Structure 1
Amino acid sequence: MNPKQIIKNLPYQKPFLFVDELTEISESGISGNYTFKESAFFYEGHFKENPITPGVILTETMAQIGVVCLGIFLLKDKISTTTKPQIALTSNVVDFYIPVLPNEKVTVISEKEYFRFNKLKCRVKMINSKNELVCRGTISGMIIAK
């Protein structure tokens, strides 16, 4: 399964799709990027006259690229035009270090800790275009093809 097919199988659409491109994919991990457009809905109120990307959106971006996209790749033999991935976030612990501003491009790098009994747990980090660590943590989810 190639990167465009993985993105096509994501259960999200704009304005809640936070994956522009997948750059590396293997059985043990994945990386990809996303640019937070200045026109995104969440900047209007977060914060007044000083917009930054909410932590929950950064976490969602890490989950979409680092867990869901990897999970779709790992289930590639079970996904078809009639069988779609079903996803549920089960846990996350994320530490935040620096803000992400409008129009900033980030890269998400995920390493699989394990995938068994349909539960995928990954160590995920986000870096900005200056190669600075934005946030990192562990994210787990359940993923099945149904």
Structure 2
Amino acid sequence: MNKEEIMKILPHRDNMLLIDEVELIDGTARGKKKILGDEWFLKGHFPGNPVVPGVILCEILAQTTCACLPGQSTEGKLTLFTGLDKVKFRTPVVPGDVFETECVITKIREPFYFAKGKGYVSGKLCVSAEYSFAITDKKA
């Protein structure tokens, strides 16, 4: 999926749509995000030595996971984190890196979804996590 196709699944727009492409292979979502260096989250983290914040890496994992929801419309709904567990950061992600993700939904109890994901740069593990999210109706 390219960005236009991703936007049919995710409500995220502008600077908060953090994945460039994603594909679903045998139930595993595999995504990519090229870190260019001009992203808003790098401006103060850290001056002269930019590092992608861990919370952004977790958001990229979660957005990738939503590719596991084809056929389920999230139009008019909110997809919200409900938990993060067993998060481990191993290697910093920096400008110039291509951050690649592998994510899978492990359990569904609607409206809750449970997942796990890993993120890599050049095959080296950078982050791993278990997390959950809910798909809820938007509130005015």
TM-score, normalization by structure 1: 0.82
**Deviant stretches of 4+, over 3 Å:** none
Which residue of 1 is the match for residue 81 of structure 2? 89
- The answer for unaligned runs of 5 or more in structure 2 is none
| Residues in 1 aligned to 2:44 and 2:57: alpha-carbon distance in whole angstroms | 16
Letter in 1 for 2:33: Y
CA RMSD of aligned residues (A): 2.1
| Residues in 1 aligned to 2:77 and 2:28: alpha-carbon distance in whole angstroms | 18
Count matched residues.
135
Which residue of 2 is the match for residue 107 of structure 1? 100
Q: Deviations over 1:18-55 (max 9, x none)?
A: 111113245x3311111122111121211121111111
Structural mapping, 1:1-146, within 5 Å:
3-4=1-2, 6-9=5-8, 10-26=10-26, 28-66=27-65, 68-71=66-69, 73=70, 76=71, 78-79=72-73, 83-93=75-85, 94-128=87-121, 130-144=122-136
Q: Percent identity?
A: 25
Q: Deviations over 1:94-129 (max 9, x none)?
A: 11000000121111101221112221111110011x
Tell me, what secondary structure is at the counterpart of 1:15?
Answer: helix
TM-score, normalization by structure 2: 0.85
Contact 1:25 1:70 in 2 (8 A): no
Tell me, what secondary structure is at the counterpart of 1:87?
Answer: strand
- Mark the CA change 1:143 to 1:25 in structure 2 (over 3 Å): closer, same or farther: farther
